[in-house]
Structure 1
Amino acid sequence: MSAWPRTLFQRNMLLIAVLIVVAQLASAVLFRELVMKPRVRQSAQSAAQHIEALQAGLAALPREQRQAFLDRMNARARVPLASDADAARASRRDRPQRLAPLEQAYIEQITRSISKDGAQVQWRREPGHPLAVQITLDGDHYWMTLPGLVSSQGVPRTWVIGSVITVLLAIWGAWLIQRRLNRPLARVIEAARALGRGERAPALPEDGPSEIATVAKGFNEMAASLAGHERERALMLAGLSHDLRTPLTKMRLATEMLQGQGDPALLASVERSIDGMEHLLQQFMDFTRASHDAGAAQEPLLQVDVNDLVRETVAMCVLDEAGARAMGLDLGEVPQLQLPVHAMRRVLLNLLVNAQRHGRPPIDVVTRVVQQRLFIEVMDRGPGIAASELEQVKRPFAQGNQARSHLQPGAGLGLAIVERIAQAHQARLELLPREGGGLLARLDWPLHEARPPAQS
């Protein structure tokens, strides 16, 4: 899994955070180069002049008064260093610590300024005496300290704390701004997903910044155009189906009147053709209704026994005793559920008719509930569908492989109708190869358990 952020919000936040941190680092570098370094050079020159003055003053004093004079000077600085042993112990204690770059520059500049015989500069890490200078006069070593000339830290703690607080406040403000910008995008994404599921996408508000308003207006126009095309297609299919039913009815009546007078094989062939045409027209009507229901208000949920609904639908598909023997029911323990009864019945009917027309018996129907999901499976023993075509056959007017479609050709709308209805109710249709041959159509429906009636 890539560590790079995937969403626009995360990427923008990362970019803003990086820019803020870089800006703070650049400010620190400029502060160091333009403020701290000149101050360090000025402080080093002042310290060198002070050391030279003290050295001249010590040279003018008698030898027996020099140590007392340095003691008074060190006492004012609150530094009790007076001997080489103390200096050595302090040096050993401070040896593991490293000097900051500014401190190193400070010491080097002082050393260059007072680079005379017997003069040494040594850094002290104890509070109150950061700098100790050794002066040698007449063979005697004297230590003087110059506290407070430069900070013992390369970067002031106050500046670090302030920078951290500034960065956090800036990131928080950027998060609020980016979140506000992401809200319109989130609405567009949700509306696009609803449109992809075949639902009627809600109109997006066209206010706010001009860029966001332009996107919302373009999306609303696209959604309105798609809805208009869908209505025109539904009207055309409905009109076509209605206009064709009248001549089909006349043809069926004519074949019934010719029974016993014409060629029986020819009449049977005409009747099969009429049945096929009526089935195609019914599929057109069902597809039109499914498309309309997906974009319209949802069908109300009714309390229903799923197993009873399955038995009723199977009975609608069984025409004779042979058809009944070809149907197998494996109905699990399913509680009373809240379901859109008409939509569920149309889904089951299309799955069963698809198995009868394009598969082979036996046809098995299974119901079960697993983890708050209702599963209904319709399985046949036909030639099945190739794995590469399982998703394609869910599209309107798509046909499965030639071996399966050759059994009884259709319009390719049965599974498309089931897919439309399932998407409209947040359900899912899965097509899988059945073990031992055939096709398994699995309907995964969200479960709404019925509430018991209130006691009066």
Structure 2
Amino acid sequence: MMHPFRPLDTLFGRLSLMIVGLVIMVHVMALLLIDKERAKIDAQRSLNNLVVAAQVRERDPVLADHVAQTLGIRYVSAEHAIATGCPAPCTDTDGPLEESLRPRLGEGSHVVVEPQTSSVWVRKRDAPYWIVMPGYMPPFSRFMGFSALTLVFAIVTAVIFAWQVQRPVRELARAAREYRIGRGVHRVRQAGPHEVRELVSDFNDMVSELAESERERSIMLAGIAHDLRTPITRMQLRADLLATPADRAAFLRETESMSRIVTQFLDFARENVTDSVFVSVDEHCRRDYGAQAGESGESGESGEAGDDALVKLDLQAGEGFMLPAVDLDRILSNLIENALTYGEPPVEVSTALADGRYVLHVRDHGAGVPEADLHRVQRPFVRLDAARSGDAHCGLGLAIVRRLVRHHGGAMEVANDPQGGFAVTMSFPYPRKAG
């Protein structure tokens, strides 16, 4: 079953989101703490300077000018504050520094911070002058550029780190998928943390042992099937010795059934699919299963082959849907033979391009399969005699089709059609590439 791709549902997406989230949170908290500490330092320094400046101004205005020059502050008449540079309308501003400084100056005091230079304008209650102190601490806005650059660098580093962490796991998942769909054994390079390297090593060993066991089973199965061909052939030749034509025909039918079983064994025992020329699926179906075999006709494509036709076609995928000729023939022959043996005609074969994938659909009109057995019926050597009966089959047809479909990057689903019958739906990537 195909699941929609969600970037945040991947290991890389979640690692990146987690690390980037932590980096941003720590960064914001650091900025807030810096600004808070900066406000405390500015408030304490400003308070000390203000106390000295105010006391000196009240006691000795002449000395106050020298103190102001030493402290780097200046006195500005309240009437000329805005003209001198106090941000209009020269009313209290809000910020960490103002909140820390205003309570210490007493009730009715005013504190204004100029945003451009961070200069602090302070006026005690009913004082005829403002005391202006230059901003020794750089304004908070200057931190933002450096902070943004640091944040971008941290995020890029976090994403690269997350990618490196998930890379071995991603390669492991790809190798497992390749092995599952029968594309051979691919050893995964050991990389990443210690636990991941151990997991990769165990996976490589497990896949190697499974592949060796599968090869031994296939060799044994192919050997038995191959050895049976010779006595079956001799039995067919000796059928002429039977006295009556009816006995001879029945004997030949039995040997033919045995031959088909042996052929299925050999097909299933093959380790690799056959490399052959890619052909159009629609054209192949028209030629081999159309109203007139070997001819391309509108009746085969539209499904109007007559009510008594064994196979009806509805081919809408177009010429771009291509598969290897030998593999396509094995897929269709197994499915149609199963449908005619276990189900009821007509067998409907349809192709389409839906949801960005090519779809090949085969359906019969029989009794179907019990819902509880739909998954089991795809396994090798499984025959559901209670649901379907037939001769010359060993339960390998759907297993062979499933292996071929997976090898070509497709997916196969089996189900009972709502209108009756057993249906097999195969979807393949779009576009299909020949070779």
TM-score range (shorter-chain normalised) is 0.7 to 0.9
Corresponding residue of 2:16:
13
Task: Give, in whole Å, the separation in 2 of the partners of 1:398 and 1:143.
Answer: 101
Cα 1:270–1:244 change in 2 (3 A) is: same
Corresponding residue of 1:293:
272
Task: Give, in whole Å, the separation in 1 of the partners of 2:15 and 2:345.
Answer: 58
| 2:288 maps to which of 294, 302, 310 | 310
5 Å-filtered alignment, 1:20-419, equals 20-28=23-31, 31=34, 36-57=39-60, 77=74, 79-82=76-79, 93-95=89-91, 98-111=93-106, 121-124=109-112, 130-134=121-125, 142-148=127-133, 156-206=140-190, 212-252=196-236, 256-260=240-244, 273-289=254-270, 292-294=271-273, 299-303=275-279, 305-307=283-285, 309-311=287-289, 327-330=310-313, 332=315, 335=319, 339-366=323-350, 375-400=359-384, 402-404=386-388, 406-408=389-391, 410-419=393-402
Cα 1:207–1:26 change in 2 (3 A) is: closer
Per the TM alignment, residue 145 of structure 1 is displaced from its structure 2 partner at its CA by 1.8
Per the TM alignment, residue 77 of structure 1 is displaced from its structure 2 partner at its CA by 3.2
TM-score by length of 1: 0.72
Calculate the aligned-residue CA RMSD, in Å.
Answer: 4.5
TM-score by length of 2: 0.75
Task: Give, in whole Å, the separation in 1 of the partners of 2:292 and 2:186.
Answer: 38
Contact 2:189 2:200 in 1 (8 A): yes
Cα 1:375–1:16 change in 2 (3 A) is: closer
Cα 1:212–1:151 change in 2 (3 A) is: same
Corresponding residue of 1:320:
none
Per the TM alignment, residue 450 of structure 1 is displaced from its structure 2 partner at its CA by 8.0
Contact 2:315 2:351 in 1 (8 A): yes
Task: Give, in whole Å, the separation in 1 of the partners of 2:335 and 2:238.
Answer: 32
Cα 1:315–1:226 change in 2 (3 A) is: farther
Task: Give, in whole Å, the separation in 1 of the partners of 2:420 and 2:13.
Answer: 48
Cα 1:301–1:445 change in 2 (3 A) is: farther
Supply the AA of the counterpart residue of 2:178.
Answer: A
Give SS of 2:110's match: strand
Cα 1:220–1:28 change in 2 (3 A) is: same
Per the TM alignment, residue 357 of structure 1 is displaced from its structure 2 partner at its CA by 1.4
Cα 1:339–1:313 change in 2 (3 A) is: farther
* Deviations 1:41-75, CA, capped at 9 Å, x for gaps: 243123112211111125x99xxxx9x99xx9xxx
Larger Rg: 1
Contact 1:303 1:336 in 2 (8 A): no
Task: Give, in whole Å, the separation in 1 of the partners of 2:434 and 2:164.
Answer: 40
Cα 1:401–1:436 change in 2 (3 A) is: farther
Cα 1:389–1:309 change in 2 (3 A) is: farther
Task: Give, in whole Å, the separation in 1 of the partners of 2:374 and 2:290.
Answer: 28
Task: Give, in whole Å, the separation in 1 of the partners of 2:38 and 2:433.
Answer: 73
Task: Give, in whole Å, the separation in 2 of the partners of 1:336 and 1:5.
Answer: 33
Supply the AA of the counterpart residue of 2:59.
Answer: A
Cα 1:336–1:450 change in 2 (3 A) is: farther
Corresponding residue of 1:138:
none
Contact 1:337 1:450 in 2 (8 A): no
**Structure 1 unmatched runs, 5+:** 136-141, 317-323, 452-456
Contact 1:130 1:148 in 2 (8 A): yes
Contact 1:43 1:150 in 2 (8 A): no
Supply the AA of the counterpart residue of 2:111.
Answer: W
Give SS of 1:399's match: coil
Supply the AA of the counterpart residue of 2:262.
Answer: L
* Deviations 1:252-294, CA, capped at 9 Å, x for gaps: 5565523339xx67x87766554443332222111112xx115
Cα 1:251–1:407 change in 2 (3 A) is: same
Per the TM alignment, residue 349 of structure 1 is displaced from its structure 2 partner at its CA by 1.3
Contact 2:75 2:130 in 1 (8 A): no
Contact 2:346 2:364 in 1 (8 A): yes
Cα 1:237–1:276 change in 2 (3 A) is: same
Per the TM alignment, residue 426 of structure 1 is displaced from its structure 2 partner at its CA by 2.2
Contact 2:291 2:309 in 1 (8 A): no
Task: Give, in whole Å, the separation in 2 of the partners of 1:27 and 1:449.
Answer: 54
Corresponding residue of 1:454:
none
Per the TM alignment, residue 190 of structure 1 is displaced from its structure 2 partner at its CA by 1.6
Cα 1:215–1:39 change in 2 (3 A) is: same
Cα 1:207–1:12 change in 2 (3 A) is: closer
Contact 1:330 1:365 in 2 (8 A): yes
Per the TM alignment, residue 449 of structure 1 is displaced from its structure 2 partner at its CA by 8.0
Corresponding residue of 1:440:
423
Percent identity, aligned pairs only, is 26
* Deviations 1:294-330, CA, capped at 9 Å, x for gaps: 5xxx6143456414652499979xxxxxxx9652343
Supply the AA of the counterpart residue of 2:94.
Answer: L
Give SS of 1:293's match: coil
Supply the AA of the counterpart residue of 1:379.
Answer: R
* Deviations 1:145-199, CA, capped at 9 Å, x for gaps: 221266799x722223322321221111121222233333322222122112111
Contact 2:120 2:132 in 1 (8 A): yes
Task: Give, in whole Å, the separation in 2 of the partners of 1:335 and 1:105.
Answer: 77
Contact 1:310 1:348 in 2 (8 A): no
Cα 1:371–1:46 change in 2 (3 A) is: closer
Task: Give, in whole Å, the separation in 1 of the partners of 2:361 and 2:292.
Answer: 13
Task: Give, in whole Å, the separation in 2 of the partners of 1:86 and 1:32.
Answer: 27
